[in-house]
Amino acid sequence: MIQNLSEFKNGKILLVDKPWGWTSFKIVKKIRSSILNATTSKDKENFKIGHAGTLDPFATGLLIVLTGKYTKKVNEIQNYKKVYTGIIKLGCETLSSDSETEEYNFSSISHITPKLIKNISKKFLGKIDQYPPSFSALKIKGKRFYEYARKGIKIVRKSRRVKIYKFHILKIGIPYIKFFIECGKGTYIRSIAQDFGKALRSGAYLLSLKRERIGNFSMNCSSIELKISKEFPCYLLD
């Protein structure tokens, strides 16, 4: 049930369970359209809405959408710790470091054991340096990284220091590794997957990813469902 527009302008927090294949921008656009179409207010031009941390199209899970005055909370929420679960596939790579592009550069995994995987995982704790993926939304000279990557243009990527609070191996079924990670702002899980493969002397990419939590926000929070779209659940935080 959509409430009147003034309440959304005063500020609301929406929790979206983002499906596979949707961009975060498309989700926000769909919610904005649904809210405005369901209200009779004439002052629709100044309605603000945005998300508090993007999810790649091929990732699923929690996307926080803020409306009205609460859009000022974006930076605050982006600084919260984030929790993900996902699956890494060993033995090959992709240009995007996830399932968006085709597998290539196949490599041997015969030397990889569960013990080696668990030992290597310990190196991915604390402050680590990583390079953002070529297929990312970061900008250089006014263009997104992925715009260069899709044209086959190589760019110089600078490493960034991020913090990993927890990194657990949940299940091993080589070539697949299921993991749990709690990390700080700016961490690229695709880069974690790629670097994990390199540490194992093999190729690797992020096969799937789900964001479980941002700070204390999760899909388990007490909330009211909004009938925004049949394609994804959207809840209004109490």
Instruction: Report CA-CA distances (Å) from 230 to 19, 30, 34, 39.
Output: 11, 11, 12, 19
Catalytic residue, from 17, 43, 56, 98: name it.
Answer: 56
Tokens, residue 41 = 């207010």
Specify the DSSP element, H or E, that contains 114. Answer: helix 114-121
pLDDT mean over 103-125? 97
**Which value, in Å, is the radius of gyration of the alpha carbons in the chain?**
19
Percent of the chain whose pLDDT exceeds 90: 68
Specify the DSSP element, H or E, that contains 224. Answer: strand 223-225
pLDDT for 83 beyond 90 = yes
pLDDT mean over 201-207? 97
Compute the mean pLDDT over every residue in the chain, rounded to the nearest whole number.
Answer: 90
Torsion of CA 211, 135, 196, 202, to 10 degrees: 140
- DSSP letters, 138-182, are -EETTEEHHHHHTTT---PPPPEEEEEEEEEEEEEETTEEEEEEE
pLDDT for 147 beyond 80 = no
- Catalytic site includes residue 56: yes
At residue 158 the predicted structure's pLDDT band, cuts being 50, 70 and 90, is: confident
At residue 1 the predicted structure's pLDDT band, cuts being 50, 70 and 90, is: low
pLDDT for 3 beyond 70 = no
Tokens, residue 129 = 């340096």
What pLDDT score was predicted for residue 151? Answer: 74
List, in order, residues 6 or more apart from 92 with CB less than 8 Å away: 103, 104, 105, 106, 107, 203, 204, 205
pLDDT for 64 beyond 90 = yes
Residue 210: name the closest of 175, 172, 170 by CA: 170
At residue 227 the predicted structure's pLDDT band, cuts being 50, 70 and 90, is: confident
The pTM score is 0.91
Q: How far is CA 162 from the centre of its chain?
A: 15
What pLDDT score was predicted for residue 184? Answer: 97
Q: Give the separation between CA 72 and CA 93, rounded to whole angstroms.
A: 39
**Of 23-27, 40-44, 61-65, where does mean pLDDT reach its minimum?**
40-44
